[in-house]
A and B are shown apart, each in its own frame.
Chain A
């Protein structure tokens, strides 16, 4: 029983990072309708920037982390301005944007390998500090991850529901043509969405770099994880994206418990396929979201 409890704790820690990543991916996908593979590159960028400042300038982790998140936010906005906006101007389709995103992902991975090597970049030395709850071991850092995920999810939800920018984002996500007809500048909205989604990916990237380290080649894998989280949760639903990421982390952990660690990645794909076939609108998707799914 203690072992199962320990697995649940491990699963929440892993799922917390996935949740944040999926939330960022969902914010962008739900509004811009781009399969943003470069989300993985933004995730890595934050971790790398933070690592460079911690390792080479001696900056405290929190300060380097702020710079890392700012870097990720900037990277996301640059991607929108430099890649997706020019493609939209040329009326490029979903597939073209996806291929451009994929190519960009490979480019950034290759660039990071060339300039910094493939060594794992870890933001700490040694094990995490832990406390015991009975026989279950819990790392303080994992508690921080869960708390931050809950706070950020709440903040993003409030932002989208209660602010002018949030209403504009929802309007563009819901009906871009109608939003344009009432004077909403969709380019500005998209830029804001990329800033928001990329900052969430950046925070997730720093969490990952602190917890288990980062390599340049994990970006694509994590972008896929993020998209699977969105599909599980239900395309179009932000709570669903977060829940999907969390569910995926828990599922991978439980599979490692019941079968073997070798099955943790295949199971993510199997779960995604199962949702696509049997519950295409995901855990929290609605009929409206089901309509959105057609765009995928």
Chain B
């Protein structure tokens, strides 16, 4: 859509020159300035800062001060191939803030979401973050996608703004800056547990591993390095590593190459429906090892696209249980589906919880500056959300979300190893 805007802008400029000419411009410019002046005065008169402290008249009754509006920014993809994730984040956070406002979770504060489109691109993500902080004056920003979040960290550091993610599983995200916080599972920890599961529960001795990964971002490289460490711990060898570009949808060549390496287990570092397409195309060529993923497969509608080819896929999933009768969770599931037309998954629940934690941080610190929110976030050591339990490292702000190992069994997502808490990983 940016291209359209740019083109539209160009045509408009040409039109002005063509239709007005120099005389026209001379006549219209003062008129335009007058209109802009009047509009500016009206905006200034009507758009006074709702958070400004008013000075009451001496003998007038003192009005109850209005709640302070806390603007919370989000940088999400609203256009491009990842736009669906933007809806997921926005709807989840909106529901949390609506509930926070109506139930007065943080007395004296109301919360408002301000969204910027990062189009799935790191440079755009940086611009979006700068705009939110410098123009919209938000003290805290939620973000999504590792490569974008990592690019935003130095900027958040410079601007002194809190950067939160409920989806970035990069092992070090929360440790990168005093301003970064995370309530998501840690992909490296997930890999630890999955390798242990493959070794101990699937009965494979020294299996031949392979990895398929998208792009080559920092988080992927860390996971590939982690694979090597885990192989040394649990046994086995890495026989093939194959990369693909995110736009690719025909993986048959890559899979044919992988098949010739004859792996027993394939680590899929993949996103979205690419996973489902890979499983389909692998089944076609008879490549049927065990597959595992360190992130959830549920949001990607794997079963819908891959059908029987998804059978046996193992993945780490947030400890999110939609069957839990908790009224807050059930309200969230109902309202999420009403707005977006889909069932919420653990990822959506994590963003609801992330928004809820921002509210909690404001409540604890009693203020809504970036520093106060950061202090409030740091004071949260455990948090019970609708998406599971979270534990935070007070020194770094890095958080772990409890998770579970699930698998596709009989065309359904089934829990294989329930509720793995951070303390299990530490052991």
Contact = CB atoms under 8 A, between A and B. Distances in A.
Given A110-B79, A126-B309, A137-B284, A261 B253 contact: yes
A99 B247 CA distance: 24
A256 B253 contact: yes
A10 B4 contact: no
A54 B201 CA distance: 41
B7 interface: yes
Contact of A127 (B1, B80, B253, B280): B280
A262 B243 contact: yes
Given A118-B82, A125-B304, A130-B284, A261 B244 contact: yes
A217 B250 contact: no
A107 interface: yes
Interface string B323-349: 000000000000000000000000000
Nearest to B80: A217
A154 interface: no
Contacts of A10: 250, 252-253, 256
A213 B273 contact: yes
Nearest to A122: B305
A209 B3 CA distance: 26
Interface string B268-305: 00001100110011011110000000000000010011
Nearest to A102: B3
Given A10-B252, A215-B81, A261-B243, A110 B309 contact: no
B262 to A, nearest CB: 12
Given A119-B84, A127-B284, A261 B251 contact: yes
Nearest to A221: B247
Given A103-B3, A130-B284, A262-B245, A3 B80 contact: no
A245 to B, nearest CB: 14
Contacts of B84: 117-119
A217 B81 contact: yes
Most interface-central of A118, A215, A260, A262 (chain B CB within 10 A): A118
A221 B272 CA distance: 19
A126 B308 contact: yes
Interface in A222-275: 252-253, 256-257, 260-262, 264-265
Contacts of B243: 260-262
B206 to A, nearest CB: 25
Contacts of B216: 262
Contact of B285 (A6, A102, A113): A6
B254 interface: yes
Contacts of A117: 83-84, 87
B257 A120 contact: no
Given A106-B4, A262-B244, A213 B252 contact: no
A13 B308 CA distance: 23
A212 interface: yes
Contacts of A264: 245, 248, 253
A260 B244 CA distance: 7
Contacts of A217: 80-81
A139 interface: yes
Interface in A3-31: 3, 6-7, 10-11, 13-14
B7 A128 contact: no
A106 B3 contact: yes
Given A117-B83, A127-B283, A212 B305 contact: no
A106 B1 contact: yes
A99 B245 CA distance: 28
A218 interface: yes
B307 A256 contact: no
B248 to A, nearest CB: 6
Contact of B280 (A110, A119, A126): A126
A252 B247 CA distance: 14
Interface in B207-266: 216, 242-245, 247-254, 256-257, 259-260
A126 to B, nearest CB: 3
B306 interface: yes
A120 B272 contact: yes
A126 B257 CA distance: 21
7 contacts: A6-B256, A120-B273, A126-B306, A126-B307, A127-B307, A213-B305, A217-B80
The 4 A-B residue pairs with the shortest CB-CB distance in the complex, in nearest-first order: A126-B307, A256-B253, A212-B249, A127-B283
Interface of A: 3, 6-7, 10-11, 13-14, 99, 102-103, 106-107, 110, 113, 117-120, 122, 125-128, 130, 137, 139, 211-213, 215, 217-218, 221, 252-253, 256-257, 260-262, 264-265
Given A213-B249, A261-B254, 5 more contacts: A120-B305, A126-B280, A256-B254, A261-B253, A265-B248
